Every structure is written in C-alpha cells, then in structure tokens.
Amino acid sequence: MLEFLLSLPAWLGCGLTMVSVALLGLTVYLVSYNLITKHKSDDLKAPSSSLFGVVGILLSLMLSLAFGEVIVELVSIRNTVEREVIAISDTYKNLCLFDQEKTYAIQTIVLDYTQAVIDDDWPALANDNLGQRAGALEQQLSDAVMKLEPTTPMQEKLWSRIIDDVDRISDHRLTRLDYSVAEPPIYIYVIIFGFFVTMACFGCHRPQTPLIVLVLLYTAFIGWVLYLIMTLSDPFQGIGVHPTSFENLVEKMQSGIR
C-alpha cells in the first residue's frame, strides 16, 4: 500500500492518504460512540475526555519527533549528494589539469557516469537498488584512473587527488543506497496506535455536524503529516531528493568537453 501511494504523483498520493485516514478515523469514532452509547456508559465521558487530551498531546509529540527525524535525515542525504557532485566535479577538473588531451577519454567516462546517475541510478534507487550501467561506468572510471602514468611532480599530486575523489564518489554512491533502503521511524507504529486511541476517545461525544467536520479536518491533517513522513523516509521516490545538481554538472561538463 505504501509503495503504491509513493509511486503516485505527490498530490495524488497525499490526497489518497488524507482521504483514507479521514475515513478510517471517522469509522473508529462512530464505532466507539455506538459502543459507549450501547452500554450507556455516561460515566466514561469525563475520563474519556481527559484521556483524549493526554493521548492527543502524546500523538502530537510523536508526530513532531518523527517529522523532525526525517527532515534531519533528508538534509543529511542532500549534503551527501552535494558532496558526491563536488567529488565528480573535482575529478573532472583535475583530469583536465593533468593532461587535457591524454585524459579526454576518462573525462568522457566521468560525463557518462554522471548522466548514468540521473538516468540509471535514480530510478533504481526508488526500488532500493543501484543502476547497473552507472556501476559499470564507475568501475571503468576507477580502472582508467589507476592506469594513468604521472610524469611530473604536479601530475603526481593531481593523480593522488583524482584517486581520492574517485574513492569518495564510490563511497557516496553506496551511501545513497543505504539511505534508499532505510525504513520509516520505528515509532511510526506507535503514532498509528495513538491515532486509533484518539479517535476512540472522540466516541464520548455525540456525532454532530460541527464535530464531524472537526474530526474530518483533524484526521485529514494527520494523514497529510503521515504521508510526508512516509515519503520523506523514502528520499529517492516522491518529493524527496532529486538529481538536479547532477543535471547542472552534466551541462557544465558537456560544454567543457565540446
């Protein structure tokens, strides 16, 4: 179900989540009200109202923690992507400084690899994998760089930097994979349980039009936040991280190679 929602356009996935959570919450509320009315449990109203306040606060706190966690992780992922782009850019620049003509073929591999990250890696990351073409080009790049033969002290320094940057590129690529397979915060299940308890506590109040509207608005908002938490927990799918920096780098390298 989650994969299906995340595979949809963001507006549609968010809308379906909000509607589903709203209907589910309303159902729990009405069932709870019928049970309380059936047993004529008027004495439950006062403690239920108090419980509703406590659970509502705890639910808000858990939602805040979960949302804050995924935002911090999203920032970390974006920083990793930016560092990867910088490593690729530095590799390309140092290859040009090493020997523009001698390293032309390797520069082309760097360009092809960057394009493969966009066309091959990113769609694969949405399915918790890495692209085969990008992996093959990464290996080609590593092999080609190792075969370079520096002849001057300056080339020795540049070659050392290039090797370090290629290693960083590989590390950052694996880090992207680690982020893609990460699961949503474990306490998301506690949030869902707290949501059910909150809606059950609503059952101490008789359904009236204003209250029904309030319940629908409340549950739709919870659904919106839950969708954001879920989609941001899968950063390479939906509204998370996009390869914009790689696209900009490709344009710059293409103009340089031409």
Q: What tens-digit pLDDT sequence spans the chain (258 residues)?
A: 666 766 677 778 888 989 999 999 999 988 888 887 766 555 555 665 666 677 778 888 888 888 888 888 888 999 999 999 999 999 999 999 999 889 999 999 999 999 999 999 999 988 888 899 999 999 999 999 999 989 899 999 999 999 999 999 999 999 998 888 777 667 778 888 888 888 888 777 788 888 888 889 989 999 998 888 888 887 887 677 889 999 999 999 888 665
CA dist list (Å): 210 to 31, 84, 200, 216: 18, 53, 18, 10
| Domain ranges (residues) in the chain | 17-257
CB crowding 86-100: b at 16 or more within 10 Å, else e: bbbbbbbbbbbebbe
Residues whose CB is less than 8 angstroms from the CB of residue 173 and which lie 6 or more positions away in sequence, other chains included: 84, 117, 121, 130, 134, 138
CB crowding 139-171: b at 16 or more within 10 Å, else e: ebbbebbeebeeeeeebeebbebbbebbebbbe
Where does residue 241 rank: exposed (0-12), middle (13-18), buried (19+ CB within 10 A)? buried
DSSP H helical segments within 39-121, as ranges? 45-98, 104-116
**Predicted structure pTM score:** 0.81
